[in-house]
């Protein structure tokens, strides 16, 4: 039967995907010998740096009686719980000392672990790997290993600039992500006299293809409304500029724009903090105008405006979402959102069955919309 031309109804869920790296904190906020709190996927974390500057992430809960460890004493190597003074190695969570034990009490202290997570510093952020929930018996399990390193921004020259922006949004991860991948809100949300008006709306046609755990908008000349594109036009002919945009689970959008030896590359994530709370982090690297002092400021201003417009929109949307509406997803503008839900479902299914993940897209496809 031919598909009816009706919008598809879709309910979001608040499931947050484990088995991935997530951005926890900007690296500059975490100092040597200090502790910071963070939350990822509703897991309370204490994050810090050891004496050598190496970052670490522990569950912010003592395996003894649940005391938050963030107010404990940290000597740059071990963290001491403020309640009964148990000490833990910050890099693997292994218990080092239980002060209440007498010399003839032979409890195996080193078999006890505080929850500990793989932790890496990458492109100005501290990333934490959130493994699938482990076997019960927490307190005696060693930390999980990440199967791959934390994601990095692709760079195309040795020298570059790097900057980041963040915004908190009172919506679930699903809304955060489909908002990020949504091509149709631009003319309505991102208006500014120096940018574009809603009258600049025009028809677009883009080719998409499946990639592992995600999809790619194939290399094309970027939209004349894109900020880096406007800058790159100073350097290169319009048709020598190309951009590729990827989305991959659980939450990563990358955009790479190239024009000869010049490039702009960004890695944006939407991180689930709690069921109805996520945070967007945009980190960009580029080698344009490296010697012109005000350009990072201009880029930060432009991106900052966009992110703020998105944040404000989602804050308003969150009001409507309190009443738990279903969503309507229409073709073709909401197709990326449909793919996101299908990818998420396919990932969860492959976890449940142990079978390889079945990609929801059968091959390349062209989408058309106005924006
Ligand atoms: S609660 Fe941490 S040592 Fe007792
Ligand atoms: Fe937006």
Listed residue (290, 304, 155) closest to 231, CA to CA: 290
CB 335 within 8 A of CB 209: no
Q: Which residues pair with 269 in a beta bridge?
A: 252, 281
In this structure, what token pair is assigned to residue 251? 């939450």
In this structure, what token pair is assigned to residue 216? 């790619």
Predicted pLDDT of residue 324: 80
Q: What gap in Å lies between CA 242 and CA 222, rounded to an integer?
A: 6
Work out which ligand 1 atom sits closest to the CA atom of 85.
3
Q: What gap in Å lies between CA 72 and CA 63, rounded to an integer?
A: 14
CB of 88 closer than 6 A to ligand 1? no
Work out which ligand 1 atom sits closest to the CA atom of 66.
1
- Rounded alpha-carbon distances, angstroms, from residue 279 to 45, 162, 166, 175, 285: 16, 19, 7, 11, 20
Predicted pLDDT of residue 197: 66
Q: What gap in Å lies between CA 305 and CA 328, rounded to an integer?
A: 28
User: From the first residue on, what is the mean pLDDT of each consecutive set of 10 residues in the chain (371 residues)?
Assistant: 59 84 98 96 97 97 96 97 98 96 94 95 97 70 89 95 93 93 90 69 93 94 70 73 94 93 93 95 86 73 88 93 86 95 96 95 96 88
Q: What gap in Å lies between CA 311 and CA 319, rounded to an integer?
A: 13
In this structure, what token pair is assigned to residue 106? 């032979």
Q: Is the peptide bond before 332 cis (omega within 30 degrees of 0)?
A: yes
Pocket test for ligand 1, best of 60, 61, 73, 86 (most atoms within 8 A of CB): 86
Q: Relative to the alpha carbon of 73, which ligand is closest? A: 1
Q: What gap in Å lies between CA 334 and CA 174, rounded to an integer?
A: 13
In this structure, what token pair is assigned to residue 244? 């590729």
Q: What gap in Å lies between CA 367 and CA 371, rounded to an integer?
A: 12
Predicted pLDDT of residue 214: 98
Neighbours of 186 (CB within 10 A): 20
CA-derived radius of gyration, the chain = 23
Q: What gap in Å lies between CA 173 and CA 130, rounded to an integer?
A: 15
CB of 64 closer than 6 A to ligand 1? yes
Neighbours of 310 (CB within 10 A): 20
For tokens 């991860």, the residue is 173
In this structure, what token pair is assigned to residue 212? 């592992």
Predicted pLDDT of residue 158: 93
Cα 157 to ligand 2 centre (Å): 29
Predicted pLDDT of residue 4: 53
- Residue 332 dihedral angles phi and psi, to the nearest 5°: -95, -10
Q: What gap in Å lies between CA 3 and CA 37, rounded to an integer?
A: 49
For tokens 């809100």, the residue is 185
Query: Alpha helices, DSSP H only, in the chain?
Result: 173-180, 186-189, 227-232, 295-321, 335-353
């Amino acid at each position: 039967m031919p598909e009816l031309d009706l919008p598809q109804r879709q309910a979001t869920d608040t499931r947050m995907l484990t088995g991935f790296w997530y951005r926890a904190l900007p690296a500059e906020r975490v100092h040597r010998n200090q502790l910071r709190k963070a939350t990822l996927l509703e897991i309370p974390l204490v994050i810090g740096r050891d004496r050598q500057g190496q970052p670490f992430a522990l569950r912010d809960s003592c395996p003894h009686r649940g005391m938050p460890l963030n107010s404990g004493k940290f000597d740059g190597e071990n963290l001491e719980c403020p309640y009964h003074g148990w000490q833990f190695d910050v890099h693997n969570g292994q218990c080092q000392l239980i002060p209440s034990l007498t010399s003839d009490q032979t409890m195996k202290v080193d078999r006890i672990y505080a929850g500990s997570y793989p932790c890496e510093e990458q492109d100005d952020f501290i990333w934490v790997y959130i493994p699938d929930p482990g076997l019960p018996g927490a307190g005696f399990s060693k930390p999980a290993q990440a199967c791959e390193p934390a994601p990095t921004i692709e760079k195309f020259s040795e020298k570059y600039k790097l900057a980041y922006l963040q915004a908190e949004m009172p919506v679930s991860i699903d809304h955060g992500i489909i908002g990020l991948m949504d091509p149709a809100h631009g003319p309505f949300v991102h208006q500014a006299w120096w940018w574009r008006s809603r009258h600049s709306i025009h028809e677009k046609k883009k080719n998409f293809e499946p990639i592992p755990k995600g999809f790619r908008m194939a290399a094309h000349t970027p939209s004349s409304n894109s900020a880096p594109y406007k800058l790159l036009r100073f350097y290169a002919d319009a048709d020598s500029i190309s951009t590729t945009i990827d989305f991959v689970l659980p939450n990563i959008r990358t955009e790479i724009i190239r024009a000869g030896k010049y490039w702009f590359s960004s890695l944006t994530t939407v991180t689930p903090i709690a069921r109805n709370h996520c945070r967007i982090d945009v980190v960009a690297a580029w080698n344009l105008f490296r010697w012109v002092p005000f350009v990072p400021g201009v880029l930060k201003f432009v991106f900052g405006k966009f992110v703020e417009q998105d944040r404000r929109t989602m804050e308003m949307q969150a009001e409507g979402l309190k009443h738990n509406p279903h969503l309507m997803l229409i073709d073709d503008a909401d197709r990326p959102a449909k793919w996101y839900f299908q990818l998420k479902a396919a990932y969860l299914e492959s976890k449940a069955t142990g079978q390889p993940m079945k990609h929801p897209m059968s091959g390349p496809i062209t989408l058309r919309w106005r924006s």
